[in-house]
Chains A and B, each alone.
Chain A
Amino acid sequence: MEQSPSCLKLFGSWASSYTHRVQLALKLKGLHFEYVEEDLTNKSPSLLLHNPVYKKVPVLLHLDRPIVESVIILQYIDETWTDHPIMPIDPHERAIARFWCHFADDKLGPAAGAVFGSSGEEQKAAVCQVHENLKLLEAELREGAFKGRRFFGGDKIGILDIVLGCGSYWLVVFDEVMEVKLVDPEAFPLFHAWLRDFEEQKEVNEIIPAIDRLLEYARGIRQLMLSLKDTTSSTTTTTATATTVATNSNNNVVIGSGTSV
């Protein structure tokens, strides 16, 4: 279906994994779109108009009508442009994909954010939580719903690969920035292999920012948070401030502790 560039417009942020999800889906579908980079510290009136409830990226405009929340946007794209489907056909498989998309956003994402926003004993506990979540995914890959698959979607990447994949690269970034070991290839061999395969996909390579850029970004935010910690007395205030700093700077990046997409 021929689409003029003005038909699709995406408001996003270069470091937002939620934005990357939508960019990847559009790329997989061969859809052209206009991209608008949002300054999340100074959101445009358009963004606030089109997402009045959450005021966040990404927002997809299709024929001037907004769709918000990345997993909802992905399903919208899949239902509107039916070539190269990203959702499974079977209803039970679709339910499993949706379930794990929620898991990514309600459990794994916030757990990773908690690692980033903490240090010392608190961070150790947060790392354990990420490991618990990865264990569940590893089990599904080893002997559960995704047994024997190269990708969660089967031979090709599907919605769950997009949702988990655009975000999991942060785990690797965090490993380097904070010297933690989140994606341990020995503990999570299948997840590790899946992530490597995902990142090697041509379309994924073209979307995800260079690792150096992500590292620099994460280091900057982390340093800011730690310096705030040093100058603030109460732990509660520190955590809240750190979270706010991370969220305001990264709005919708998995670093933030918010759970909404």
Chain B
Amino acid sequence: MADKVVLLSSWASVFGLRVQIALAEKEVDYEFREEDLFDKSSLLLESNPVHKKVPVLIHNGKPVCESSVIIQYIDEVWTKGPSLLPKDPLQRANARFWTDFIGKTIYPCGSKIWRNKGDAQVQAAAKKELIGILKQLEGELGERPFFGGETLGYVDIALVPFSRWFYTYETFGRFSIEKECPKLMAWVRRCNDRESVSKVLPDPHKVYQRNCGLKKRLGLE
């Protein structure tokens, strides 16, 4: 029986994009269903009744929620092709640690920058915090081409979708991530050389336009 894989997500969702990269890396065929986050489908609400959020992967009718959980699931189910997580338990622990760190820090911090409604102090503090987080990640990357070593891995997949939001953060925050974290931007460019990344990730300017529209819609201008 052929696998039926459906991904409920939104084109600009960093968490959904992670899953899309993971599925591309594993060459898994799937149906992508765009969710309107202001008018969520009944399928989404049924599949993720706890959080009512994207992404949700539905594999042969069974939902899996939360991007980090989904990626580990993908890695454990589709075992042909590259492993997304390292084999060694200590390296796996390390990969989980940094993925968890990325999930907890960049999104809320970045939101404080672009969703800011005229509070310069909050925005400045968030900017400083974001640069600190990215520098910390740069330090963790070190001299390796990827966080996964020679190839893209779990942490790379977790982090790289945020690179399409950098233009949004930079424009609203008036700073340059290239200037602050050149090694990280070099890593972004290496990631972009992979088809699984370049074909999946959206144009940063499109993301920025979307965020401008969203900010207006939420009355945050």
A residues at B contact (CB < 8 Å): 53, 62, 65, 67-69, 72-73, 75-76, 79-80, 91-92, 94-95, 98-99, 102-103, 136, 259-260
Identify which of B50, B69, B89 contacts A98 (C-beta below 8 A): B69
B65 interface residue per 8 A CB criterion: yes
Question: What B residues does A75 contact at CB under 8 A?
Answer: 92-93, 96
Question: What B residues does A68 contact at CB under 8 A?
Answer: 97
> Provided the pairs A67-B93, A72-B100 are in contact, do residues A136 and B72 lie with their beta carbons within 8 angstroms?
no
CB distance A69 to B90 under 8 Å?
no
Interface size class of B (residues with CB under 8 A): 20 to 34
B4 interface residue per 8 A CB criterion: no
CB proximity to A under 8 Å, residues B157-192: none
Question: What A residues does B72 contact at CB under 8 A?
Answer: 94-95, 98
A-B contact count (CB 8 A): 56
Residue of A nearest to B79 (CB): A91
A91, B3: Cα distance in complex, Å = 15
CB distance B66 to A76 under 8 Å?
no
B residues at A contact (CB < 8 Å): 49-50, 59, 62, 64-66, 68-70, 72-73, 76-77, 89-90, 92-93, 96-97, 100-101, 104, 136
A104 to chain B, nearest CB (A): 12
A181, B50: Cα distance in complex, Å = 23
Residue of A nearest to B92 (CB): A79
A-B contact list, 8 entries, CB within 8 Å: A65-B90, A69-B96, A75-B92, A75-B93, A80-B89, A92-B59, A94-B72, A94-B76
A259 to chain B, nearest CB (A): 8
> Provided the pairs A69-B100, A94-B76, A260-B104 are in contact, do residues A99 and B69 lie with their beta carbons within 8 angstroms?
yes
A91, B68: Cα distance in complex, Å = 14
A189, B79: Cα distance in complex, Å = 40
A73, B64: Cα distance in complex, Å = 23
A67, B91: Cα distance in complex, Å = 10
B58 to chain A, nearest CB (A): 11
CB distance A102 to B77 under 8 Å?
no
Identify which of B49, B50, B73, B97 contacts A95 (C-beta below 8 A): B73
> Provided the pairs A95-B64, A136-B50 are in contact, do residues A102 and B69 lie with their beta carbons within 8 angstroms?
yes
CB distance B93 to A73 under 8 Å?
yes
CB distance A102 to B66 under 8 Å?
yes
Residue of B nearest to A91 (CB): B76
CB distance A92 to B64 under 8 Å?
yes
Question: What A residues does B93 contact at CB under 8 A?
Answer: 67, 72-73, 75-76
Residue of B nearest to A69 (CB): B97
A261, B76: Cα distance in complex, Å = 25
> Provided the pairs A98-B69, A136-B50 are in contact, do residues A79 and B96 lie with their beta carbons within 8 angstroms?
no
B176 to chain A, nearest CB (A): 25
CB distance B73 to A92 under 8 Å?
yes
CB distance A99 to B76 under 8 Å?
no
A102, B51: Cα distance in complex, Å = 11
B103 to chain A, nearest CB (A): 10
A191, B21: Cα distance in complex, Å = 38
A68, B49: Cα distance in complex, Å = 30
B110 to chain A, nearest CB (A): 18
A98, B90: Cα distance in complex, Å = 18
CB distance A72 to B50 under 8 Å?
no
